[in-house]
Amino acid sequence: MIRIGNHRIDEPIERILNDVKSELTNGKLGSIRIRGGSAMVTCPCHSDGREDTPSCSVSEEGLWHCFACHEGGTLPSLIGHCFDSDEAFGKRWLLGHYVGEEILEDDPNDFLPEDLFDEPKTEFLDESCLDGLEPWHPYLEKRHLSRKVCEFFKVGYDPNTRMVVFPTWDDHGRLYMLTRRSVDSKRFIIDKGKEKPVYLLNYIKKKGITEVTVCESQINCLTCYGFGYPAIAMFGTGTKYQYDALNRSGIRHYYLAFDGDEAGRKATARFIQNIHADAFIDVIEMPEGKDVNDLTQEEFDSLPTVNCVEWLEKNGL
């Protein structure tokens, strides 16, 4: 549902984007890639709207974000950019093309203040602790991570410990802890004295993104961003603290991309059992023994997706 003032528009985002594209004469919105109810499109805000690969995510609720230039907003503003105009034009275009049902009264339960929920008491870190990190290390290239993505999420290298450092924020955007991975071995360090947050949930909430890919590890999560998919990571199978945060996050659609092994299948089943029933959950069927970081974008894009009910039946759960 897309809200314009006191009206709601229930047209699928795919139809709206294709209707916009059919009226454009400037070459913008050249590519539209649909996955589930969301879309990836060529961003109208940079490269004169003619980039080679779609970098702009558009949710089924009409929220959009470009992972290349970091522009974003609501669907009317995207439509305005497409027509070289503004958000007001986008609103007029939507209401002129589709009949919007009038909203008579807001649901008082739509927005609940987050401070009503309990959260563990903890000490947060000053982001100045990231100042001494080097911005890049060949290990990150070896793992096929995007340099632009790593720099955006402040991933760095600590030469004193020979470890890659992943800053990890809580869902309010406060620097919560630093996780570390050795560039010489498979050693991974995480603070066991703290509850695990959901990695990059703070970014998802800040941008109002309502469709996300869910991974086990931070590296898999960052790989998804390199592929153009907003993502979060659970540091494993998930905890009550993490599921409580997700259930109040506003995310409406999850694509589960846990590892293709027994632990990944357990994580998938646990996630489905713990997320509120009003959210949509689809499962990306990962190849046996593989995770997201093992795949090229073309391989990841071509993976089959099934809804959670089919997946549970298929796995005898």
Per-residue pLDDT at 1: 65
CATH of 123-314, one of 3.40.1360.10, 3.30.420.40, 3.40.710.10, 3.30.428.10: 3.40.1360.10
The dihedral formed by the CA atoms of 2, 257, 119 and 110, expressed in degrees to the nearest 10: 20
| pLDDT tens readout for residues 57-77 | 888 878 888 878 878 888 999
Distance CA 4, CA 241 (A): 35
CATH entry, 2-102, from 3.40.50, 3.90.320, 2.20.28, 3.90.580: 3.90.580
Q: E strand or H helix at 234, and its extent?
A: none
Note the pLDDT of residue 39: 86
Give me the pLDDT at residue 104, please.
42
Whole-number pLDDT of residue 47: 86
Query: Global pTM?
Result: 0.65
Q: Return the structure tokens found at 184.
A: 């010489």
236 closest CA partner among 214, 213, 211: 214
- What pLDDT score was predicted for residue 286? 97
Sign of CA dihedral 132, 137, 139, 140: positive
Q: Give the CA diameter of the chain.
A: 61
Residue ranges of the chain whose pLDDT lies below 70: 1, 5-6, 36, 99-122
**pLDDT tens per residue across span 166-206:** 999 998 899 999 999 999 998 999 988 889 999 999 999 99
The answer to whether the CB of 258 falls within 8 A of the CB of 229 is no
First to last CA, the chain: 32
Domain locations along the chain: 2-102, 123-314
Q: What pLDDT is stored for residue 110 in this prediction?
A: 36
pLDDT at 140: 97
| Radius of gyration of the chain, Cα coordinates, nearest whole angstrom | 20
